[in-house]
Amino acid sequence: MKVLKFGGTSVANAHNINLVKNIVVTANGNKTIVVVSAFGGVTDQLLQTAKLAASNDKSYRTILNEIEERHLTTIKELIPIHSQSKVLSIVKSELNSLETLLEGAYLIEETTPQLLDKIVSYGESLSSYIISEYFITDGLNAIHKDSRELIKTDESHGKAMVDFELTNSNCRDFFSNSSNEIIILGGFISSSKKGNPTTLGRGGSDYTAAIIAGAIDAEILEIWTDVSGMYTANPKIVKQAKPIPLISYEEAMELSHFGAKVLYPPSIQPVFSKGISINIKNTFDPQHPGTFITKNPSSKEESVRGISHVEHISLLSIEGPGMVGIYGISKRFFEVLSLAEISVVLITQASSEHSICVGVSILDADRAVKALNTSFEYEISQGKIKPIIVEEDLSIIALVGDNMKNHQGLSGKMFSTLGKNNVNIRAIAQGASERNISAVINTNDVKKALNALHEEFFEENIKQLNLFVMGVGNVGSKFLNQIKQQKKYLKDNLKLNLRVIGISNSRTMYFDENGISLNSWENLLPTGEKADKAKFFDTINTLNYRNSIFVDNTASHEVSETYNKYLKNSISVVTCNKIACSSEYKNYKNLKELARQYNAPFLFETNVGAGLPIIDTLKHLIASGDRILKIQAVLSGSLNFVFNNFNDETTFHDVVKQAQEEGYTEPDPKIDLSGIDVMRKILILARESGNQLDIDDIENQPFLPQESLDTKNNKDFFASLKKYEDDFQKMYSDAVKNDSKLKYVAQFENGKASVGLQQIPKGHDFYNLEGSDNIVLFYTERYPNQPMIIKGAGAGADVTASGIFADIIRIGNF
């Protein structure tokens, strides 16, 4: 005999019930027992009608009408017209009785647990009856059985205790004597020995099926639901979760106890004791093998089998000097909770015995606190124990696996993963069986924590990086394009999964939690909401994704002022905007500190030399113990362009004009020509080499005449360049006379930085610098005479974008 249970979604409507029939027909047992839930959502609706009626709210009738409509429509869709009338009239009469019960609750403005059980029982009693009539009229050898006649319980309404002796013997008698091939029963519902309707707790249809399977020694228990098995994590929260092919009873029990709703926890016991396997399968994908829950499944699988979580947890702690070494405090503590019928989900006690901490359902928290404070009233009044401390809005996440005990370092990995993602851990528990490691965390961190842990333990180390990009102009659009091209490569080769979740320009911003399509972001962005820097941050912070990265491709001062907020919330920052790192030293230092403190990288490789690995190299030199003696560099692509093209056949004015027109300079070319941009760059290099420097400490010998520097607009600026052409020509001819070329050089040595135009003699590393190339010479203790040289294109949107990209990959490997 086989027992098949179909959940609420599987029987939600006529179409689904038809799928159920096909599955039952192909089950091929000599006898098939079919346990069904109420039509999906009906149990919730019934509870709601009761609640409304008891609070004297007439709108319960609207919901009741919906329930009626749903059942009648399903009958009409399933059962041929000529057989409908009997079924319709029986169901209508049942619904009338339900209405009478609700009217009673409405009049006396009250429901009792006993009445609630009566009301809620209609869900399964109606669904099982309708499905059985459908099977029968369709020609199957089927019969309906009221499970309340078989499953016997005590009188604890809402979640009754099963009397197994009586129930098992009822089941054996009934099923061995029944001659039908298919027997259909409602799950969840039962009755007390006195004959009152009772129920087995929410999700209890699984339990009904397991009880029957255990009683009759079924060959298998199949739980048919809306997902393809028990997953490595809740598939609604973790998109990458996968069905677990094989799992032990103990593991399944732990996972379901810690929130894997797909199986009601008590359901395992009745089949476990008989060694009957459970197969969890998907009604909507019947070919999928689903999950097998068995004894000793092969365990060469992962050490962690699944991750689950329970929400709505409160932590209660008892602590105080009076607890140390006093015998029996924990005994009393747990006795009080047990007498108050409070189930404890998690326990931790520090070995100092200074405190005991338990996790209970939020619904039990008030009662527990009252009971404990009353019981320890004397000790509290004596100051030996503090009043119970309560923390709310918490959840438990648990790693589960029989094999975890054989693997070292799992808890280390778990906690460091949570730590890296800035998930605050409030309490920890590890069972002595080492089948479960649990941590209590804030509920709003659950999604992030589950995904981060899942990635760590199940996803072949594929790490998801969630990008939020501000500034999608020249550099930004190139950057998005590069991601589009490299996405697959990164996933296959570096195990990095890059998703762009948010983008913004100065007008609009656009978010898509599933990742913005990089083929159509240009069309999507204008459809987004109005751009707002504060809201951009708030959205990222509320999404609370692991590995979130804010990418600043703007040159905006205001945007650079938001970095601290990102870092403080463990959101990494990658930027090509130089403003923050060349602002006041205090601010630069603070951002670096925040990055360290909150485990959120702050990377700005493109601040110097675009995509050239200058800052990264510097960091590696220092980290490996080298010391920077001197930095000499040509760091301005714009100035290089100007001096490489300026000679006695051109005019300085025309070359600068050309540089401006071709986009080699800022729109205001004075920013480049005055040396400000180069000052910022050498300042950043000096700081990154460990020196405390500010922009005012940098010596700048301008080559422009004061009059040009003082101009207020581009027109006057260019006019002044014309006026001083002779001076510029003299600078050029002086250099030629000395067999030299003009280069704008930045230098840092002995704590002092300077920038200025220099004559570079033939043979010098800078002499042959082409186009807009940059070059940096690092003289260090290890490279004292022959410097380490980094040279290459130091400007341009493409190389800058690739530098940003490189920073993102650094974070991925972090």
Which residues are near ligand ADP by CB under 6 A?
7-10, 37, 203, 225-227, 230-231, 233-236, 260-262, 306, 308
Residue 188: CB minimum distance to ligand ASP, A: 4
Buried b (16+ CB within 10 A) or exposed e, 424-447: ebbbebbeeebbbbbbbbbeebbb
What span, in angstroms and rounded, lies between the C-alpha atoms of 57 and 48? 11
* Residue numbers 101-160 binding ligand ASP by CB under 6 A: 123
Number of residues near Mg ion (by CB under 5 A): 2
**Alpha helices per DSSP H over 614-692:** 614-623, 637-645, 652-661, 670-673, 676-688
Residues 6+ apart with CB under 8 A from 739: 761, 762
- Which residue in 51, 159, 172, 202 binds ligand ASP (CB under 6 A)? 202
Residue 293: CB minimum distance to ligand ASP, A: 17
Q: Stretches 138-146, 204-212, 501-509, 710-718: which one binds ligand ASP (CB under 6 A)? A: 204-212
For residue 424, give the 3-state DSSP assignment: coil
Is 117:204 a contact under the CB 8 Å cutoff?
no
Residue 12: CB minimum distance to ligand ASP, A: 11
Nearer residue to ligand ADP within complex by CB, 35 or 516: 35
The candidate with the shortest Cα–Cα distance to 401, out of 300, 311, 310, is: 300
- Which residue in 37, 180, 283, 689 binds ligand ASP (CB under 6 A)? 37
Site for Mg ion contains 675 (CB under 5 A): no
Site for ligand ASP contains 186 (CB under 6 A): no
C-beta neighbour count of 655 within 10 angstroms:
19
* Residue numbers 194-223 binding Mg ion by CB under 5 A: 203
Site for ligand ASP contains 205 (CB under 6 A): yes
| Cα angle: 71, vertex 73, 75; to 5 degrees | 70
**Alpha helices per DSSP H over 26-59:** 42-54
Nearer residue to ligand ASP within complex by CB, 38 or 54: 38
Site for Mg ion contains 229 (CB under 5 A): no
Residue 223: CB minimum distance to Mg ion, A: 8
Nearer residue to ligand ASP within complex by CB, 37 or 562: 37
Site for Mg ion contains 669 (CB under 5 A): no
* Catalytic residue list contains 86: no
Catalytic residue among 118, 681, 741, 791: 681
Residue nearest to ligand ADP (CB): 7
123 binds, among ligand ADP, ligand ASP, Mg ion, none (CB under 5 to 8 A by kind): ligand ASP
Residues 6+ apart with CB under 8 A from 370: none
* DSSP state for residue 540 in the 8-state scheme: H
* Residue numbers 418-447 binding ligand ASP by CB under 6 A: none
Residue 163: CB minimum distance to ligand ASP, A: 20
260 binds, among ligand ADP, ligand ASP, Mg ion, none (CB under 5 to 8 A by kind): ligand ADP
**Which H or E run contains 805?**
helix 797-812
DSSP string of 177-243, one letter each residue: H---SEEEEESSEEEETTS-EEE--TTTHHHHHHHHHHHTT-SEEEEEESSSSSBSS-TTT-TT--B
Residues 6+ apart with CB under 8 A from 705: 720, 724, 727
Site for ligand ASP contains 38 (CB under 6 A): yes
**Alpha helices per DSSP H over 79-163:** 81-108, 113-137
Residue 205: CB minimum distance to ligand ASP, A: 3
235 binds, among ligand ADP, Mg ion, ligand ASP, none (CB under 5 to 8 A by kind): ligand ADP
Query: What is the residue whose two structure tokens read 């762009």?
Result: 500
For residue 750, give the 3-state DSSP assignment: coil
Q: Can you give the C-alpha Rg of the chain in angstroms? A: 36
Site for ligand ASP contains 8 (CB under 6 A): yes
Residue 484: CB minimum distance to Mg ion, A: 41
142 binds, among ligand ADP, Mg ion, ligand ASP, none (CB under 5 to 8 A by kind): none
What are the catalytic residues? 681
Q: Which residues bind ligand ASP (CB under 6 A)?
A: 7-8, 37-38, 43, 123, 187-188, 202-206
Provide the binding-site residues for Mg ion, judged by CB under 5 A. Answer: 7, 203
